[in-house]
A = this chain, B = another copy of it.
Amino acid sequence: MKRSPVLKMAEKEKKIIDAAITIISEKGFSASTTSEIAQMAGVAEGTIFRYFKTKKDILRGIVIHLVKIMGEPLILDSFKKMLFTQNQQDLRSIIKALLKERLALMEVIYPMLRIVVTEAMYHEDIRKILYEEIVSKALNIFKLFREEMVAKGLMAGDIDPLAASRSIYGNLVALFVYRKFFGSMTRLENLDQDLDHVVDIIMHGLAAGRK
């Protein structure tokens, strides 16, 4: 009786997944072809169908893989660490550091993000996974963070925590999208300047007589 070379199997599968991420992220799912993926992965086209029953199954494999990676304790942990062990007493610096770190992360995982966002727009089940694995967790962490900040007297206590974190993420994504998508059409400000503006608005709002 022969034993299957499990490790090699995983390697090939990973090669295919990696190639699929690259290609699908560039052209979208339907516009990507299995022969293209096979070529980039360095395998025969037939091999793909030994690991994935259909083309759609490749996508399923990717999305679950991606959501797991993005929600991985590693990422969430570094997030937590940043929020809680920052020894500075300055909420402003904490939020700026948080935004900066998240922005860098989004930049790194952008190819994956693009696939997940696209699929999430069209499939409820993926939105559900996304919510359970990432959104709800991020919201909970923020709630803890907020409690600590309120206790320290740094953050207003009468704000709805859900609305507050939604706002922070909204600001974050707006900045990311603007710089990523429309950056080539205007003269971009220095990132740190942009961040300072955002943090300023998040902290004190737009109304007159703030400060």
Chain A residues with a Cβ under 8 A of chain B: 26-31, 91-92, 114, 117-118, 120-122, 124, 127-128, 131-132, 135, 150, 153-157, 159-160, 163-164, 166-175, 178, 181-182, 184-185, 194, 197-198, 200-211
Contact = CB atoms under 8 A, between A and B. Distances in A.
A160 B197 contact: yes
A122 B28 contact: yes
Contact of A166 (B91, B122, B178, B184): B178
Classify the interface of chain A: helix, strand, loop or mixed: helix
A201 B163 contact: yes
Contacts of A159: 197, 200-201, 206
6 smallest CB-CB distances across A and B, nearest first, come from: A170-B174, A30-B30, A163-B197, A170-B170, A205-B205, A204-B205
A207 B31 CA distance: 47
B118 A198 contact: no
Given A170-B173, A205-B210, 18 more contacts: A28-B28, A30-B31, A91-B207, A118-B118, A118-B121, A127-B185, A155-B207, A156-B209, A156-B211, A159-B197, A166-B178, A167-B198, A168-B206, A169-B174, A171-B171, A203-B207, A205-B205, A210-B210
